[in-house]
Amino acid sequence: MKIGIIGTGYVGLPTGVGFAEIGNEVVCTDKNKEKIDDLKAGKLTIYEDGLEELFAKNIAAGRVSFTTNMRKAVAGADVVLIAVGTPPHPVTHEADLKYIYAAATELAEYLTDYTVVATKSTVPVGTGDNIEQLIADKNPTARFDVISLPEFLREGFAVHDFFNPDRIVVGTNSEKAANIVKELYKPFEGKTNMLFVSRRSSETIKYASNAFLAMKIHYINEIANFCEKSGADVTEVAKGMGMDGRIGNKFLNAGIGFGGSCFPKDTMAMAYMGHLVGSTMELVETTINGNNKRKQQMAERVCAAIKDVENAKVAVWGLAFKNGTDDCRESPAMDVVAELLKKHVNVVAYDPKAMKNACQILGDKIGYADDVYAAVKDADALVVLTEWKEFSEVDLDVVAQLMNRKTILDFRNMLDSNKAVSLGFEYQCIGKKIV
Ligand code: NAD
């Protein structure tokens, strides 16, 4: 099949490379010339585990190409996937659809034969109707169907999730479009479930799923607070809860709050949609507010631990919004750092993958270290904010020797607490008191 991908970001790029890997001819287009120049030159623009190898392989095989020319991606394509951003509107926090509508308007004129236009971006209920109208107005003779094909991949696991999706949700009432999508996903037959629903249900499934997962994270963080006061251990509690098949064991890691490019914006968009249709999403709104407070509370805990706030040096391990990615968008780690900066704390940070992206956001407001040990040199406290595996493998003896004051706030519960205590660290973690 010939597939056009509009937008080569965290979704579009792994998706394009993935479809190429299973034998399709894929043309990816993006407005960002710099990105396309890099991709054309064989340089990956994002970090995703396993992507580099597939990217090089499929370029060499001539199955995937990159262009700023939308015509090349759209003309003659069986399926065009829209994967542009839907960021929160700066004032209302609803999903800002300017990139979606710009892409739909532009692609309309290049539609030649019958084409399935599929929205991979996360869009509010009813957006498919508007895209359909836009295309029909712009190109009245075009033969097409607009379908919703929401993306459920997790950043950091994008390649894995492309090849092993939990489910594929298709929102369409068109039999013709449904058959083309079945053909597109034929290599996944028997390996995953395909669910065909109406376009509006499909658009809602994506938001309802993300809001639910965000609530689950917020819930376990509330339980962690409870455990700290009651003498229970949230890790044990989460394990016991997760054994119940109705609850499930995923998304029960207590931490510093959810973040990333999806949950914050999608929960806000869901809350906004609730008001729009006259059905307030109270649980979602509580989750958003609680999650915002959580990051402030984490920074307050750091300050309480270091005492002489303005003269202390705090080492931060982790800036990406989670491990496995270089993405710092809406990173709760970055938010905790921002809260620390408001309190005039000196921060020196290290992240295995996200230094470049973090530096673009924070500039010279913090110091940057080359590795875990350089970060903790002369520090008065170490704060662990992102769950990178390498942090659990550090030599705490060396850390103890390098630090000025032996204080650890392990907000990802990933260091060896017994070892830390035996080395004389004042050690705090999430959801349990260390005695
Ligand atoms: P991104 O910002 O990484 O990438 C979007 C790309 O689209 C950018 O490169 C941008 O230059 C390009 N673009 C914007 N307008 C364009 C246009 N008119 N023509 C061509 N290119 C254009 O965004 P992302 O993280 O890949 O997310 C894309 C969508 O997928 C969003 O709606 C997001 O909510 C959804 N989603 C993201 C994830 C995730 O983990 N990142 C997961 C599931 C769903």
Residue range 160-183, pLDDT digits in tens: 999 999 999 999 999 999 999 999
CB of 359 closer than 6 angstroms to any ligand 1 atom = no
Q: Say yes or no: do domains 207-288 and 291-429 share a fold.
A: no
pLDDT for the residue numbered 206: 98
Q: How many C-beta neighbours within 10 Å does residue 230 have?
A: 10
**Would residue 262 show up in a list of annotated catalytic residues for this protein?**
yes
- Residue 126, pLDDT > 80, answer yes
Residue 233 token pair? 């251990």
- Residue 155, pLDDT > 90, answer no
Contacts of 216 (CB under 8 A, 6+ apart): 251, 252
Q: What is the mean pLDDT of residues 300-324?
A: 94
CB of 35 closer than 6 angstroms to any ligand 1 atom = yes
Backbone angles phi, psi at 410, to 5 degrees: -95, 85
Pick the residue whose CA is nearest to atom 27 on ligand 1: 85
Confidence of residue 309 (pLDDT cuts 50, 70, 90): confident
How far is C-alpha 312 from the geometric centre of its chain's CA atoms? 32
**228 secondary structure, DSSP code:** H
Question: What is the tens place of the pLDDT at every residue in 66-78?
Answer: 999 999 999 999 9
- Is the pTM higher than 0.85? yes
- DSSP, collapsed to helix, strand or coil, labels residue 296 as helix
Site to probe by mutation for ligand 1, drawn from 30, 39, 72, 357 as the one with most ligand atoms within 8 Å of Cβ, is: 30
Distance CA 215, CA 210 (A): 9
Contacts of 36-41 with CB under 8 Å at 24 or more apart are: 36/8, 36/66, 36/67, 36/68, 39/8, 39/13, 39/66, 40/66
Distance CA 272, CA 434 (A): 41
Pick the residue whose CA is nearest to atom 6 on ligand 1: 7
Question: What is the tens place of the pLDDT at every residue in 87-98?
Answer: 999 999 999 999
pLDDT for the residue numbered 244: 98
- Residue 434, pLDDT > 80, answer no
| Distance from residue 32's CA to the centre of ligand 1 (Å) | 11
Q: Which of 196, 165, 213, 194 is nearest to 18 (CA)?
A: 165
Pick the residue whose CA is nearest to atom 35 on ligand 1: 121
Confidence of residue 310 (pLDDT cuts 50, 70, 90): confident
Q: Which helix (H) or strand (E) holds 20?
A: helix 12-21
Site to probe by mutation for ligand 1, drawn from 107, 134, 155, 261 as the one with most ligand atoms within 8 Å of Cβ, is: 261
- Residue 210, pLDDT > 90, answer yes
Domains of the chain, residue spans: 2-197, 207-288, 291-429
User: What's the CATH fold of domain 2-197?
Assistant: Rossmann fold (3.40.50)
CB of 29 closer than 6 angstroms to any ligand 1 atom = yes
Q: What is the mean pLDDT of residues 284-297?
A: 97
pLDDT for the residue numbered 235: 96
Q: Which helix (H) or strand (E) holds 349?
A: strand 346-350
Confidence of residue 307 (pLDDT cuts 50, 70, 90): confident
Which of 28, 262, 303, 429 is flagged as catalytic? 262
| Distance from residue 82's CA to the centre of ligand 1 (Å) | 8
CB of 124 closer than 6 angstroms to any ligand 1 atom = no
Question: What is the tens place of the pLDDT at every residue in 216-259?
Answer: 999 999 999 999 999 999 999 999 999 999 999 999 999 999 99
CB of 160 closer than 6 angstroms to any ligand 1 atom = no
| Distance from residue 87's CA to the centre of ligand 1 (Å) | 9
Distance CA 320, CA 335 (A): 11
Q: Which CATH class is domain 207-288?
A: mainly alpha
| Distance from residue 1's CA to the centre of ligand 1 (Å) | 23
- Atom of ligand 1 minimally distant from the CA of 35: 9
Pick the residue whose CA is nearest to atom 40 on ligand 1: 155
| Distance from residue 7's CA to the centre of ligand 1 (Å) | 6
CB of 153 closer than 6 angstroms to any ligand 1 atom = yes
CB of 32 closer than 6 angstroms to any ligand 1 atom = yes
Question: What is the tens place of the pLDDT at every residue in 344-356?
Answer: 999 999 999 999 9
CB of 203 closer than 6 angstroms to any ligand 1 atom = no
CB of 10 closer than 6 angstroms to any ligand 1 atom = yes
Contact 294, 367 (CB under 8 A): no
- DSSP, collapsed to helix, strand or coil, labels residue 116 as strand
CB of 122 closer than 6 angstroms to any ligand 1 atom = yes
| Distance from residue 318's CA to the centre of ligand 1 (Å) | 24
- Atom of ligand 1 minimally distant from the CA of 95: 32
**CATH for the stretch 291-429:** 3.40.50.720
| Distance from residue 313's CA to the centre of ligand 1 (Å) | 37
pLDDT above 70 coverage of the chain, percent: 100
Residue 235 token pair? 């890790």
| Distance from residue 62's CA to the centre of ligand 1 (Å) | 24
